[in-house]
Structure 1
Amino acid sequence: MTNNKKTECTYINGKIFTANSDKPHATAMIVRDGKVAWMGSQADLEKIEGECVDLQGLSVLPGLIDAHLHPLYLANASKQIACTPPLIHSIEDLIKEIRSLRGAQGEDKWVEGWGYDEGKLLERRSPTRWDLDQAAADVPVIITRTCAHIVVVNSKVLELAGITRDTPEVPGGQIDRDEDGEPTGILRENAKDLVTRIMPVKTLEENAEILAELSNVLLSHGITAITDAMGRTEPTDYLEMYNDAVKKGLKQRTVLYYIWEDLKKKPILENEKTSLENQIHIGGVKLFSDGSVSGQTAWVNPPFLGEGENMGSK
Structure 2
Amino acid sequence: MPTKREIIAQDAESELAPVADLTRPLTLRSRRTERQRRKQQKRANSSSAAAHPARLVDLPLELMMAILELLRPSDIFALSRVNKELRAFVLANESAIAQPIIKLRYSILERCLPRPVGLEHVEPAIQSLLKSADRPDLGAHRNAHQNIPPPDKTLHCTCMTCLVRWNALCAVIDFAHWQDHLDRGIPIPTIERGTNPRWNQELLERNRRVALNALNSPLWYARILEAHLESTTRSIRRHSQNKADQRRHYRVTAADIRAGTDEFLQQNGHPTFDYPYARDLYYMLEAFLPGRSWISELQKWVYMPQTQEWHETDLRILVRMDEKRRQERQKSAT
TM interval, shorter chain, is: under 0.3
Answer 1 or 2: higher relative contact order, Cα 8 Å, separation at least 6.
2
- Alignment TM-score, normalising by the size of structure 1: 0.22
- Alignment TM-score, normalising by the size of structure 2: 0.21
Higher helix proportion (structure 1 or 2)? 2
Higher strand proportion (structure 1 or 2)? 1
